[in-house]
């Protein structure tokens, strides 16, 4: 998470906690007397785990030390990340198993609610990451979100990892009694959850205000429990703990020397707000373990091994106390809860909650693909619900399993809330200068399942467009769409003089085709177009054409992909009013293949092929080769080429081959060396006549505004090299 995001989240947490900073009254604990006449079997040991983001991973090291010391834990209470770790420990998972789970979590994906690209539809992939600011649209108005994410991937993680306890509704039936703490954002009260669906309870406890949307659970709107009780020791006492062991990764107050930035100051204010509650809760701890939290960011989930080691070392400092507790508690075999699930469960019925719309229920059932009599696993359910998330038609989607004899009723609850969005994007490159994008995506505007998008790109190349897309059955294979657009740009016209001309194009396109595997479209398109040139004497052009299309994109990520392919081909036949008795054809194909190598290296292979024919060929259907950056108006007929200026070569046949190797020097920083070879001609020939060679070296970085690239390139036909800079994704 970036510093800017940390500031936003911290401010929102501060605002949310301002009204609930006064700690809630709790029952005072009776002092634990080590000489108390209690038999070892009657002593109940409680473990309290605080919230703290990535710092909470230190709790795993504490668990490892407790088990090594022979301490049997009867009761677990947790807040936020403490509720995640504590919930997993309560269902009977060992510290080693929890460590393995946490090590395998892709935290940027989980916390960012990203839908895997392989589940996203092709039109979504083509638009990924164009905006740097996105706001929700509700009721036709643009507003602020209740949270940066819905928390879908958080609840998927909890559902999968707590699967064995899916039938449990009272947490004292778990191998270790459990309670998680959340905050009622309406009343400011701490909510201690000792029953319900375990995955939902864990998700509710980690609802960081501003970062994750509040969760509606049992009629209460819940956010992160850290707002009012980050260390729920009193809850362990309430559940009957005779001895309370606390693992606390809360921040301490900073000195003035450490308050050098806005983030530091906001963190200090938040700590001050939670301090009265924290002081009270710590007094209830018989053993207070404080893993050090300095020197590593609270968002550094990739440093899990370091956090776990800090927890283990901090707990080891209390070895004598832990050994005494183990002696008093005595050896105990962890009980196995009756009704725990195996790897799969038989579904007796499927129930959809949260909607009264027949189309929605039909969609949910189709995407689930689960019928009575089917066996399901947690992995199958997570995958199918992920497909629902990818439609953009829902808020939080969750499920529960209600026992029914030897089988289960699968109850899926949806929040029917389309992810309508307004976004702003930015782009700068040294060839076409700065550009701004304003875009709005609306679902169900025309028909259920349809997607309507409004785009306005403002810059040296300007484009305004309205597009409509619909699939049969929302996620079916048959897809139809239309786009009405107006574009303005510049062309270096073909001919001896190569004069520059502005051009305005108004177009209407309608397409129909089949979608395969969500990443490939095969279809046809009918296009009507009217072009106006601003060169004196140049005629306006009315164009009608039909095209066959093939579009495929399977990249693993938008920026600096490590694997996958990107390919687009179009064969167009048409005519204009320039020569009514003639016609033209244009075939273009461009592609890129990325192959991961060892040592953080990636091989990329690509190329472009274009062939134009006909006496009726308009000037904006010629092929223009050159430049470091793609045109937003003419991407189809203007392939880039190392070392050449924009539109340096023009012809009716173009061939370009590319190869490069990229090295990940460090996270989000890349170095690439590449070569292009190709040229233009008036007829197709192999090998390419008058070949041009181009080389480039570039340094790129992934940033909050998109990729930043600095490139030096050299072409064999030019005496000097070219420097080029770009910021942001192509709009």
Indicate whether 401 belongs to any domain. yes
Indicate whether 701 belongs to any domain. yes
Band (336; pLDDT cuts 50, 70, 90): low
Task: Assess whether 187 and 309 both reside in one domain.
Answer: yes
Band (266; pLDDT cuts 50, 70, 90): low
Cα–Cα distance for residue pair 730/121, rounded to 1 Å = 19
pLDDT value for 714: 95
Indicate whether 548 belongs to any domain. yes
The residue among 170, 168, 180 whose CA lies nearest residue 206 is 180
The residue among 133, 8, 116, 126 whose CA lies nearest residue 421 is 133
The residue among 533, 534, 552, 535 whose CA lies nearest residue 543 is 533
Indicate whether 16 belongs to any domain. no
pLDDT value for 409: 96
Task: Assess whether 412 and 439 both reside in one domain.
Answer: no
Task: Assess whether 403 and 485 both reside in one domain.
Answer: no
Query: What is the average per-residue pLDDT within 641-655?
Result: 94
pLDDT tens readout for residues 583-616: 999 999 999 999 999 989 999 999 999 999 998 8
Cα–Cα distance for residue pair 50/288, rounded to 1 Å = 11
Query: What is the average per-residue pLDDT within 398-407?
Result: 93
Helix, strand, coil shares, percent, the chain, to 5: 25, 40, 35
What would the two tokens of residue 286 be?
Answer: 């018989």
Cα–Cα distance for residue pair 49/365, rounded to 1 Å = 39
pLDDT value for 364: 94
Task: Assess whether 497 and 618 both reside in one domain.
Answer: yes
The residue among 173, 266, 281 whose CA lies nearest residue 226 is 281
pLDDT exceeds cutoff 50 at 380: yes
Task: Assess whether 434 and 567 both reside in one domain.
Answer: yes
Question: Domain ends where: 273, 295, 329?
Answer: 329
pLDDT tens readout for residues 22-46: 333 333 333 344 333 344 447 899 9
pLDDT value for 332: 75
Which is more confident, 274 or 439? 439
DSSP annotation of 539: P
pLDDT exceeds cutoff 50 at 652: yes
Instruction: Show the DSSP H helices in 19-151 as ranges.
Output: 58-68, 81-90, 95-104, 107-112, 122-127
Query: What is the average per-residue pLDDT within 472-498?
Result: 89
What would the two tokens of residue 463 be?
Answer: 């484009």
452 with 471: CB under 8 angstroms?
Answer: no
Position of tokens 């770790």?
A: 85
pLDDT value for 13: 36
Query: What is the average per-residue pLDDT within 650-660?
Result: 95
What would the two tokens of residue 20 be?
Answer: 């609930």
Q: At what angle do helices 58-68 and 319-329 cross, to 10 degrees?
A: 60
Query: What is the average per-residue pLDDT within 468-479?
Result: 91
pLDDT value for 7: 34
Band (468; pLDDT cuts 50, 70, 90): very high
Cα–Cα distance for residue pair 98/33, rounded to 1 Å = 33
* Sign of the CA dihedral running 438, 440, 446, 450: positive
Indicate whether 144 belongs to any domain. no
* Number of residues written out for the chain: 731
Band (637; pLDDT cuts 50, 70, 90): very high
Strands 210-212 and 147-149: parallel
CATH number of 247's domain: 3.40.1090.10
pLDDT exceeds cutoff 60 at 94: yes
pLDDT tens readout for residues 189-228: 999 999 999 999 999 999 887 788 999 999 999 999 888 9
Cα–Cα distance for residue pair 408/401, rounded to 1 Å = 6
Indicate whether 31 belongs to any domain. no
Q: Find how far residue 546's CA is from the centre of its chain.
A: 37
**What are the DSSP calls for 163-193, one per residue?**
GGGTT--BGGGSSSEEEEEEEETTT--EEEE
Which is more confident, 396 or 39? 396
pLDDT value for 259: 67
The residue among 18, 32, 85 whose CA lies nearest residue 58 is 85
pLDDT value for 268: 66
pLDDT value for 28: 32
Query: What is the average per-residue pLDDT within 4-23?
Result: 35
Task: Assess whether 219 and 86 both reside in one domain.
Answer: yes
pLDDT value for 613: 94
C-alpha distances out from residue 372 to 387, 399, 412, Å: 20, 16, 14
pLDDT value for 304: 93
The residue among 671, 655, 547 whose CA lies nearest residue 606 is 655
pLDDT exceeds cutoff 50 at 293: yes
Task: Assess whether 99 and 211 both reside in one domain.
Answer: yes
314 with 291: CB under 8 angstroms?
Answer: yes
pLDDT exceeds cutoff 70 at 473: yes
The residue among 124, 113, 46, 122 whose CA lies nearest residue 86 is 46
pLDDT exceeds cutoff 90 at 428: yes
Band (58; pLDDT cuts 50, 70, 90): very high
pLDDT value for 538: 78
Indicate whether 155 belongs to any domain. no
Range with lowest mean pLDDT among 32-36, 422-426, 702-706: 32-36
Query: What is the average per-residue pLDDT within 481-499?
Result: 87
**What are the DSSP calls for 463-483, one per residue?**
EEEEEEEEETTTTSSEEEEEE
Task: Assess whether 217 and 314 both reside in one domain.
Answer: yes
pLDDT exceeds cutoff 80 at 11: no
Query: What is the average per-residue pLDDT within 642-647?
Result: 93
Query: What is the average per-residue pLDDT within 623-646?
Result: 93
Cα–Cα distance for residue pair 422/418, rounded to 1 Å = 13
pLDDT exceeds cutoff 60 at 175: yes
Q: How many domains does the chain have?
A: 3
* Sign of the CA dihedral running 417, 200, 193, 297: negative
Above pLDDT 90, what percent of the chain? 69
316 with 308: CB under 8 angstroms?
Answer: no
Task: Assess whether 465 and 396 both reside in one domain.
Answer: no
CATH number of 376's domain: 3.10.20.310
The CA dihedral of 541, 543, 548, 552, to the nearest 10 degrees, is 50
Band (10; pLDDT cuts 50, 70, 90): very low
pLDDT value for 313: 96
What would the two tokens of residue 75 be?
Answer: 């009761």
Which residues span the domain enclosing 320?
Answer: 45-113+164-329
CATH number of 483's domain: 2.40.160.50
Question: Domain ends where: 364, 382, 416?
Answer: 416
- Partners of 542 in the beta sheet? 530
Task: Assess whether 557 and 686 both reside in one domain.
Answer: yes
Question: Domain ends where: 416, 431, 464?
Answer: 416
pLDDT value for 242: 95
Task: Assess whether 453 and 514 both reside in one domain.
Answer: yes
Q: What is the mean pLDDT of the chain?
A: 88
Cα–Cα distance for residue pair 722/701, rounded to 1 Å = 20
Task: Assess whether 401 and 425 both reside in one domain.
Answer: no
Query: What is the average per-residue pLDDT within 94-115?
Result: 90
Indicate whether 457 belongs to any domain. yes
């Amino acid at each position: 998470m970036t510093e800017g995001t940390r500031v936003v989240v911290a401010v929102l947490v501060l605002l949310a906690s301002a009204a609930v900073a006064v700690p809630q009254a709790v029952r005072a604990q009776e002092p634990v007397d080590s000489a108390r006449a209690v038999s070892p079997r009657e002593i109940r040991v409680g473990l309290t785990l605080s919230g703290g983001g990535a710092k909470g991973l230190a709790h795993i090291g504490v668990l490892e030390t407790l088990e090594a010391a022979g301490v049997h834990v009867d009761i677990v209470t947790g807040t936020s990340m403490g509720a995640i770790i504590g919930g997993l420990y309560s269902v009977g998972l060992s510290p080693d198993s929890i460590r393995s789970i946490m090590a395998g979590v892709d935290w940027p994906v989980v916390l960012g609610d990203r839908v895997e690209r392989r589940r996203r539809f092709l039109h979504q992939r083509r638009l990924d990451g164009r905006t740097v600011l996105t706001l929700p649209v509700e009721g036709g108005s643009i507003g602020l979100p209740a949270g940066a994410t819905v928390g879908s991937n958080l609840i998927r993680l909890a559902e999968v990892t707590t699967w064995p306890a899916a039938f449990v509704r009272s947490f004292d039936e778990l191998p270790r009694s459990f309670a998680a703490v959340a905050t009622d954002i309406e009343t400011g009260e701490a909510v201690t959850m000792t029953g319900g669906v375990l995955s939902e309870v864990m998700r509710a406890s980690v609802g960081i205000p501003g970062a994750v949307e509040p969760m509606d659970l049992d009629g209460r709107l819940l956010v992160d429990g850290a707002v009012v009780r980050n260390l729920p020791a009193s809850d362990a006492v309430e559940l009957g703990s005779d001895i309370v062991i606390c693992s606390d990764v809360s921040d301490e107050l900073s000195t003035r020397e450490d308050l050098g930035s806005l983030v530091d100051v906001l963190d200090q204010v938040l700590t001050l707000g939670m301090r009265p509650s924290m002081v009270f809760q710590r007094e209830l701890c018989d053993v207070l373990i404080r893993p050090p939290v300095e020197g590593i960011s609270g968002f550094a989930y990739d440093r899990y091994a370091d956090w776990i080691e800090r927890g283990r070392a901090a707990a080891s400092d209390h070895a004598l106390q832990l050994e005494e507790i183990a002696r008093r508690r005595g050896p105990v075999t962890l009980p196995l809860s009756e009704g725990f699930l195996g790897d799969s469960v038989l579904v007796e019925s499927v129930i959809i909650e949260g909607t009264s719309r027949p189309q929605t229920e039909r969609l949910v059932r189709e995407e689930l693909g689960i019928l009575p009599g089917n066996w399901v696993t947690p992995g199958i359910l997570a995958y199918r619900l992920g497909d629902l998330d990818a439609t953009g038609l829902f808020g939080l989607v969750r499920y529960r399993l209600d026992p029914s004899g030897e089988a289960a009723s699968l109850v899926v609850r949806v929040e029917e809330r389309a992810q309508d969005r307004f976004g702003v994007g930015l782009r700068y490159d040294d060839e076409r200068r700065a550009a701004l994008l304003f875009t709005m995506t609306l679902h169900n505007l025309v028909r259920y399942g349809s997607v309507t998008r409004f785009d306005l790109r403002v810059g040296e190349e300007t484009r305004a467009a309205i597009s409509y897309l619909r699939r049969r059955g929302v996620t079916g294979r048959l897809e139809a769409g239309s786009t009405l657009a107006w574009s303005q740009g510049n062309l270096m016209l073909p001919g001896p003089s190569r004069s520059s001309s502005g051009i305005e194009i108004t177009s209407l396109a309608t397409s129909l085709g089949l979608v395969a595997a969500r990443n490939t479209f095969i279809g046809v398109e009918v296009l009507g177009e009217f072009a106006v040139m601003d060169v004196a004497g140049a005629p306006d052009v009315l164009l009608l054409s039909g095209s066959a299309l093939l579009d495929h994109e399977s990249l693993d990520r938008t920026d600096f992909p490590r694997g996958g392919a990107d390919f687009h081909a179009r064969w167009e036949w048409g005519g204009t009013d320039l020569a009514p008795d003639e016609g033209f054809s244009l075939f273009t194909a461009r592609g890129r293949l990325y192959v991961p190598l060892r040592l953080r290296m990636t091989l990329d292979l690509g190329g472009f092929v274009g062939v134009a024919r006909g006496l009726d060929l308009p000037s904006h259907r010629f092929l223009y080769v050159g430049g470091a950056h793609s045109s937003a108006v003419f991407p189809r007929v203007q392939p880039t080429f190392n070392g050449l200026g924009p539109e340096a070569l023009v012809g009716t046949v173009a061939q370009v081959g590319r190869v490069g190797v990229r090295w990940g020097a460090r996270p989000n920083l890349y170095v690439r060396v590449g070569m292009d070879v190709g040229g233009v001609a008036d007829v197709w020939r192999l090998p390419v006549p008058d070949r041009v060679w181009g080389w480039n070296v570039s340094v790129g970085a992934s940033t909050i505004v998109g990729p930043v690239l600095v490139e030096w390139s050299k072409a064999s036909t030019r005496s000097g090299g070219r420097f080029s800079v770009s910021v942001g994704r192509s709009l």
